[in-house]
Structure 1
Amino acid sequence: MTINLKPVALLFCLLLAHSAQSDDFVLIKQRVFQNLMETPVDKNEVANLLNSIQENGTWPDINYQDVSREGFQHSRHSANIVTLARAYNTKSSRFFKSTKVKNVVELALKNWVDHDYICDNWWHNQIGTPNNLVHVMLLIGDELPKDLVEKAQPIINRANIDAPGARPGGDRIKIAGIQAKNLLFLGDRETFDEVVRVIENEIKYVEWIGRKYGYTYRINSSGFANRSAGGRGIQYGNSFHHRGDGVNNTLSYGLSYADAFVEWAVYTANTRYSFADDKQERLVDYFLDGICKTSIYGKFPDPGAKNRSVCRRGTLRPYSAKTAENLLLATAYRRKELKEIADIRNQGIKPTVSHATFFWNTGHFSYQRPDWFTSVRMYSTRTHNMEEPYNSEGLLNHHRGDGANHISRTGDEYYDIFPVFDYQKVPGATIMQKAELPAPNQIQKLGLTDFVGAVTDGIYGAVAFDFKSPHDPLVARKSWFFFDEEYVCLGAGISCKQNLPVVTTVNQCLLRGEVALSSQNKKVTVEKGEKTFENVDWVFHDRIGYVFPNPTDVELKNSAATGSWWNISKQISTPKEEVTADVFKLWLNHGSRPSDAAYEYIVVPATSMEKMEENRSKNNITILKNTPEIQAVENTNLEICQVVFYKGGEIEIFPTVKLFSDNPGIVMLKMKNGSITEISVADPNRELSRFNLSVSTKIEKSGETFTASWNENTRMTHISIELPGGNYAGSSATVKL
């Protein structure tokens, strides 16, 4: 949860001059109290709590019997006490220092300490409940009866750095933060210093356990018993793993991990407890290059990076600017970039950063231009496909990692679509259409192939996914090629052993306005409904174009879809009533039991109907090859060629230029006036120390990490490029010629 520290008020605190009598410990306690008091008091809510509490200290609208993972409404009880304690201390409130409020706080707290409610989900016991109770102590604890305070302490102390849930890489930093607040309340300066250092030292890169040989060849003692990082935490490349499964948690646990550190970086700023500069800089790098580059414009969550949280209403709402603003208060490092993120989130300005970012330890690729954002989600033998459906959430997520490719212009294209979502038509994924999905306990699967990766120079990139479904007897070679105004999606070798239809979904998002398409050069506006269209040249919806280089039969739906949140989440609080939303869905049907089927389409985000009719993107793009062995695309306007070699081979790229690769891998070539100026390479298999290729043009140059030598007899230049190794294996190498 993002902390709500008001910059102006907090800046005043940070700039307080320390007198000879100043006390950093007391100052930090004051800052924590001030932060707790920033939440406005809702007088109607407080009045209702005061009037509805029962003689035994319970509230009638809370089920106190259900302590299950899906239930535990008790968390509302402890949160209510915090609300009342805040009202008691709010000078502008009519409840300020109210005896009635204080009595109700005591009554409700007594009920809790007498019953010591324990949830089946450990998180409430070691994080949720202690966090609420320590906030009560900091707000009003000095005025409560000593016996109540003493009885609350064992419950609060379940949040401590030696607790089972305080595993490195995620929950440890949050639990340590709760303990630190309690030490402020208790006045334990010595232990506070130790705990603050624990928080500081949690900001570090950890080695992913699947790096060397693939996940299945590593022994990983996960769970509460494992006190080492075990691959959990900030990954090299700035994604985040919360567990030992390799699933991307950057926008869930990784977000709260960063906020917990930022919270204490601000609390301790300009005191003797301040965090070291290198730790703060590491956190800023993770925030800007991990969290923000996984997010649409650094502002909206990328639905492709979300896991079970898609079943929660509002999960794709835009992020607050508070984290960026608080980092600006804590450090001067990368100040301009932090300020831009704050302005994007506060003022809605366009981003100036265009990037192509591959998180190689997570199998996630994101791509941004000022007017659009997209991503590709994959998995390999090094990672699992999706988070498990913990707490009965995300019950239909089986295929959401199968090359999911979401497309955004505004950031809200998929907002709360998930109760009506067709989970067998995930954008970008190729999926066998079954009567129903397997049981939720079959969602998480380990990837079955090694060749999963991307090449990027930071601005452009290409992605390859040797896809073998862990759920179905289905294989495909899938690739994506990214440029400034468009990107190209290729599929080849699509084969299935079962006699069921297989489809590739181009997109499934909320319906926004009319849908138009062109077939045999005739443009039509599509009537609402679901229909198959033959020989389609392009489809246009919500300023996004879908271009088919060869006339293609497509299936399209632009009408209402019905479902419910209860279908995807069995939490006690989950609504069960039906939900309806208008949906745009476009997919390609490869037929039943396909063998070596293929697809080719170009996505043109942030375009117009006029540009679609001009067919500009189709004219800029040349698909050089789309086979199970090689997939390659050239952008003639940018003079960029990107090639995926699933095994060594050759291909003619630019006119009169041939490219040979001695090994599997991905290559990106940049040309200028007929000459190769830059080469980027990557090894998705992560087996090579050097990438060896040849081109039929003369180059004679060498550098620290590469050699290029011309052979007069073969009329070829052999190029050998050193690849990143160790924790950077799977990332790209770029050489300038």
Structure 2
Amino acid sequence: MSSVVPPMFLSRRGLLRAFAATAIAVPVLGGAAGHAMAADAYDTLRLRWRDLMLGTGFDAAAEPYKSKLSALGATAATLRSTMAVASGSLWPDLDYADPDPNTDTASYGYSAALGTSFSRLRTLAEAWSQPGTGLTGNAALLTEILAGLDHLHAERYNNTQATYGNWYNWQIGIPQALLDICVFLYDSLGATRIADYAAAVDRFVPDSAVATYSGTSTGANRVDLCRVIALRGVVAKTPAKIATARDALSPVFPYVTTGDGLYADGSFVQHTVVPYAGSYGSVMLGGLSLLFSLLKGSSWEVTDSGRQVILDSVEKAYAPFLFNGLAMDSVSGRAVSRGVQTTDTRRLLQDDHGRGHAIIACVALLAQSASAAESARWQSMVKGWIARDYYVPILTDPALGVAAAARLAAVQNGTAAVAAEPTAHHLFPGMDRAVHRRPGWAANVAMASGRITYYENGNGENVRGWHSSSGMLYWWGKDFANGQYSDSFWPTVDPYRLPGTTASKKVLADGAGGTWGAARPDVKWVGGASDGTYAAVGQYLKGLSSTLVAKKSWFFLDDAVVCLGAGIRGRDATGVETVVDNRNLGAAGVHAFTVDGTAQSTALGWNATLTGAKWAQIAGHAGYVFPGGATVKALRAARTGAWSDINSGGTTDAITRRYLTLWFDHGTDPTDATYSYLLMPGATTAATAARAADTTWLTTLANTDNQQGVAVPSLGFTGINFWFAGTVGTVTASAPAAVMIRESGGTATICVSDPMRQSATIDVTWNRPVSAVTAKDSTVQTVSTGSSLTLRITPGTLGATHKATVTLA
């Protein structure tokens, strides 16, 4: 299933994005050079694909297009100057002549070199095709590109060659680049070349590649394969190929309950156990938006009713993870470690904003295949994302190609209203994630279970992501702190002190636990209950390669997240810590830090044990409240790292960032340690101090190894995580469950889930007078009302929330 790429080459998805960043555009007119008129249905599709790749409706002499086209031309000029046809290579630094196809350690690198060679030729072909590159329509360049294609075909990518190394290069990376080149240069190739290239693609991507929905032919990979087969059919005018590609998309559409694909709750998983909406999911959405647009109105239009699942995913699976233009890192797998990579003559930055921009561009294109109502909503959403991304303005993002920028500019200049940032809570039981959206901030918690991995490493990527699903609590502000994870966070942060996590200080080796998400904790209770506004979320944590265990709960509210921990134990002869926060202050940031009204030192290296602290505040970031007082440790430090430390393909340049870290030190081998704190994003010192002083605002109902729960009377909120059956306050559960109650006026909503996904029924009794149940899910049965309420829930196996609305007596 997985691919391996050595340090000198881009990752598979990075490689794809490097030469396909312009793949989202308005399919109107053709490109600049070599444009021909359509003579039949295949020519129509081919020219449409050309427009999808190159874009139309933009002024090449205006920004941001002028700079993007100039950069493309400069890259192409450098590549052209170093191209040299030789046996076993087309560029001296890309040796693809594998001496031993059966030697994995060598063959992976050689197949990647072959793939990169094709991607470089694609860059040259795009520079020849686009206006304003300085190489537009250059006859000598065209001759050189054709010579390079002939060379690679003769030596490697032909219908007699045996594969070696990475399957992805042969089946997706190379043929996608080759077929794009065929579209760009179609009128100059001639019938013989087209037939030869089609035969080569057939050799490596036969119809059997999509005959079954299994192995490497699922999710995003399946869509990539269909793209190859469809374009091969278009270029060589083979209708059966186009039909095969269209029909092979259908298995991607239905919801899944395990493994790869989209879940009914909005989860997207790839590699069986990795939450991946921000990377593989983006690739899948982009590929489908392209194919839907390509085939629309043709004899091969995608009409399967299941395509509605993909359209619905825009708002269910992708939009919840987009905030101010960025895509939350918790659903981007090993892609978070890519950062700055050098490819050809460019240094490519891959961060959460870049991944977000790619998804936003996909949404803009997919709107063309949606209903009028969906299209209108999505254009408003896109316009809102563009307006709010102050950290990396979308249209000027260097990683965004001309076609994508043109499409997004058309939306920006259109008549759609700017959609406001939504307010909601989203639970994703299918991938152990939760997202909380408030008017001024957003938060996201990442967890792991027997269903979802601790982290994914592979291809030498993300080798220190060990604790990134140990309850990592991300958060961002509306107009502050949007660079927290974008600004070289992953190579410089202490990987043992990720925000929100509870972790053993036991030293772990790079890649500990195995590759491709192999490491998963043997736990079931991970999930929560939500009414769509507030939530009670919990994780039974077992540490990666350690004896650490803990119960962690988060209660998501209007201006705060209440965080509880209990039952914290370890026997590794090392310390255990819970990280309240670890703020990236940038390269030179000096942010005031106040504890209980007293300003603390701003000197680097300052550290302190804050005994009996009731609250703390980091200027420009957040406030933290410690109910009843707590002993918390704090540290200001400058940390230096390089992307190559966590990703073998990353740059080796030293990067230094300043951090302010707050944590609970549970000591060596703790037994039944606990913690309690409130995170208040954006809170001022006054607001933080006021919350700490209001001892009636929060009531901790329980914080033990058996149950954890809180009540906030002013919000009518009660949230309890029952790790075991029992009674907490006025609520009794007959089995492990997450319970959330929200009272408002004379009504209340009761929300219950079974995070363990194994209870046949759960009886929940609320010792509160209830006169009637006015609405309930079909999975909820009313057992009794009156002086108390008892509901019987049949929860099923998906960890979903089951609701009932009642009238209070």
Q: Is TM more than 0.5 here?
A: yes
- 1:613 pairs, out of 682, 685, 689, with 689
CA distance in 1, matches of 2:596, 2:361: 52
Compared CA separation, residues 70 and 568, structure 1 to 2 (3 A): farther
Sort the Cα spacing of 1:676 and 1:472 in 2 relative to 1 into closer, same or farther, 3 A: farther
Compared with structure 1, are the counterparts of its residues 646 and 489 closer, same or farther at alpha carbon in structure 2 (3 Å cutoff)?
A: same
How far apart are 1:604 and its partner, in Å? 0.2
The alpha-carbon distance between structure 1 residues 608 and 69, as it changes in their structure 2 partners (threshold 3 A), is farther
Partner of residue 53, structure 1: 83
Partner of 1:135: 180
The structural deviation recorded for 1:683 is 0.8
Q: Distance in 1 between matches of 2:43 and 2:690?
A: 67
**CA distance 1:439–1:177, change in 2 (3 Å):** closer
CA distance in 2, matches of 1:256, 1:44: 27
Q: In structure 2, what residue type is equivalent to 1:122? A: W
Per the alignment, residue 284 of structure 1 pairs with 311
Once the two structures are superposed, the pairs formed by residues 190-589 of structure 1 within 5 Å of their partners are 190-208=240-258, 231-244=259-272, 246-276=273-303, 278-297=305-324, 299-313=325-339, 314-318=350-354, 319-320=356-357, 321-332=360-371, 333-348=373-388, 351-387=420-456, 389-409=457-477, 410-415=481-486, 416-437=488-509, 439-440=511-512, 442=514, 444-511=518-585, 513-519=589-595, 521-524=597-600, 526-534=602-610, 535-541=612-618, 542-571=620-649, 574-589=650-665
- Name the CA shift for 1:122/1:698 in 2 (closer, same or farther; >3 Å): same
The residue aligned with 1:641 is: 718
Matches within 5 A, 1:47-196: 47-56=77-86, 58-64=90-96, 68-69=107-108, 72-90=112-130, 95-116=135-156, 120-144=165-189, 146-157=191-202, 158-163=204-209, 167-196=217-246
- Alignment correspondent of 1:227: none
Alignment gaps of 5+ in structure 1: 14-20, 209-230, 653-657
* Higher relative contact order (Cα pairs below 8 Å, separated by 6+ residues): 2
Deviation at 1:252, TM superposition (A): 1.5
TM-score between the two structures when normalised by the length of structure 2: 0.80
Q: Tell me, yes or no, if the aligned pair for 1:399 and 1:424 is still in contact at 8 Å.
A: yes
Output one character per residue of 1:282-313: Cα deviation in whole Å (capped at 9) or x when no partner. 1122122112213335x312122232112101
Taking the aligned partners of 2:193 and 2:475, their CA distance within structure 1 comes to 54
CA distance, structure 2, for counterparts of residue 32 and residue 395 of structure 1: 38
Answer whether contact 2:198 2:236 (CA < 8 A) is retained. no
Q: Partner amino acid for 1:734?
A: K
Q: Is the 8 A contact 1:70 1:391 kept in 2?
A: no
| TM-score w.r.t. length of structure 1 | 0.87
| 1:407–1:161 CA distance, 2 compared to 1 (3 A) | farther
1:386–1:401 CA contact under 8 A, matched in 2: yes
Describe the SS at the equivalent of 2:459: helix
2-side partners of 1:709 and 1:188: how far apart? 63
Cα deviation per residue 1:156-185 (whole Å; 9 max; x = unaligned)? 232344238751222111111111111101
Q: Percent identity?
A: 20
Deviates more, 1:595-604 or 1:157-166: 157-166
Question: Closer, same or farther in 2 for the Cα pair 1:662/1:177, shift >3 Å?
Answer: same
Match in the other structure for 2:35: none
CA contact (8 A) 1:62 1:73 kept: yes
Aligned length: 691
Letter in 1 for 2:174: T
How far apart are 1:59 and its partner, in Å?
2.6
CA distance in 2, matches of 1:203, 1:377: 26
Does the Cα contact within 8 Å between 2:323 and 2:385 map onto a contact in 1?
no
Q: How far is the alpha carbon of 1:598 from its aligned partner? A: 0.3
Q: Report Cα offsets for 1:588-625 as digits up to 9, x if no partner.
A: 11111111100001000122233223337955322222
Mapped to 1, the partners of 2:29 and 2:130 lie a distance apart of 20
Q: Using the alignment, how far apart are the partners of 1:114 and 1:437 within structure 2?
A: 44
How many angstroms apart in 1 are the aligned matches of 2:513 and 2:541?
22
Taking a change above 3 Å as real, the CA distance of residues 45 and 378 of structure 1, as seen in their structure-2 partners, is closer
Determine the C-alpha separation between the residues in 2 that align with 1:89 and 1:672: 62
Q: Following TM superposition, by how much is the alpha carbon of 1:519 offset from its aligned partner in structure 2, in angstroms? A: 4.2
Give how far 1:102 is off. Answer: 2.1
1:35 aligns with 2:35: no
Distance across 1 between alignment mates of 2:440 and 2:305: 34
Which residue number corresponds to residue 212 of structure 1?
A: none
- Give the Cα separation in 2 of the matches to 1:488 and 1:34: 50
Quote the residue 1:667 is aligned against.
739
**Pair 1:468–1:104, CA change in 2 (3 A):** same
Counterpart-to-counterpart distance in 2, 1:270 and 1:3:
25
The 2-side partners of 1:406 and 1:634 are apart by 23
Distance 1:312 1:69 in 2: 19
| Alignment CA distance shift 1:197-1:707 (3 Å) | closer
With 678-687 and 700-709 compared, the bigger mean Cα shift is at: 700-709
Paired residue secondary structure (2:231): helix
Change (3 A) 1:402 1:363: same
Query: How far apart are residue 45 of structure 1 and its match?
Result: 3.1
**C-alpha distance in 2 between matches for 1:617 and 1:283:** 48
Q: Secondary structure at the match of 1:398?
A: coil
Q: 1:250 deviation in Å?
A: 1.7
